[in-house]
Amino acid sequence: MSERRRQPGAAGPTAANLTIHSEALAHRVLIFCVVAEILFVFLDYHINFGEWTAIGAMRRMFNIAREDSLASWFATTQTLMTGLTLGLIYLAARRQPGMGWKATGWLVLASFFVYMAVDDGAQLHERLGSTFEAMREDAGASLDFFPSYTWQLIFLPFFGGLGLFMLVFLWRELGSPSSRALLLTAISFQVFAVGLDFLEGLEPNHPWNLYAAISDRYALETWTEWRFGESAYDTLDHFSRSIEEALEMAAISILWFLFLRHLSIVPGHLNIRFSNGATKGSP
Residue 195 reports pLDDT greater than 80:
yes
> Minimal CA–CA distance to 193: which of 256, 126, 105, 252?
252
140 falls in which pLDDT band (50, 70, 90)? low
CB-based contacts of 259, cutoff 8 Å, min separation 6: 82, 85, 86, 89
Please say whether the beta carbons of 114 and 83 come within 8 A.
Answer: yes
pLDDT tens profile 79-125: 999 999 999 999 888 877 766 788 899 999 999 999 999 988 887 77
Whether 227 is covered by a domain: the verdict is yes
Please say whether the beta carbons of 108 and 116 come within 8 A.
Answer: no
Whether 24 is covered by a domain: the verdict is no
Q: What is the CB-side half-sphere exposure of residue 109 using CA atoms within 13 A? A: 29
pLDDT tens profile 205-256: 999 999 999 999 998 999 999 888 899 999 999 999 999 999 999 999 999 9
What domain range is 131 assigned to?
Answer: 76-262
Give pLDDT, residue 275.
Answer: 64
Whether 60 is covered by a domain: the verdict is no
3 falls in which pLDDT band (50, 70, 90)? very low
Give the Cα separation of 25 and 142 in Å (integer): 51
Whether 114 is covered by a domain: the verdict is yes
Give the Cα separation of 117 and 73 in Å (integer): 10
Whether 211 is covered by a domain: the verdict is yes
- In the 8-state DSSP scheme, what is residue 176? S
Give pLDDT, residue 179.
Answer: 93
4 falls in which pLDDT band (50, 70, 90)? very low
Please say whether the beta carbons of 258 and 183 come within 8 A.
Answer: yes
For the chain, give the longest Cα–Cα distance: 88
Whether 44 is covered by a domain: the verdict is no
Give the Cα separation of 237 and 200 in Å (integer): 7
- In the 8-state DSSP scheme, what is residue 10? P
Whether 51 is covered by a domain: the verdict is no
Give pLDDT, residue 272.
Answer: 66
Dihedral (C-alpha) 166, 117, 199, 136: value to the nearest 10 degrees? -100
**Least confident interval from 11-25, 53-67, 183-197:** 11-25
Please say whether the beta carbons of 148 and 117 come within 8 A.
Answer: no
Bin 175: left if φ > 0, else alpha if -120 < ψ < 50, else beta: left
Give pLDDT, residue 271.
Answer: 65
Please say whether the beta carbons of 183 and 174 come within 8 A.
Answer: yes
Whether 4 is covered by a domain: the verdict is no
- In the 8-state DSSP scheme, what is residue 201? T
> Is the pTM value of this prediction over 0.75?
yes
Give the Cα separation of 4 and 26 in Å (integer): 45
Q: How many domains does one find in the chain?
A: 1
Cα angle value 162/167/171 (rounded, 5°): 145
Give pLDDT, residue 2.
Answer: 45
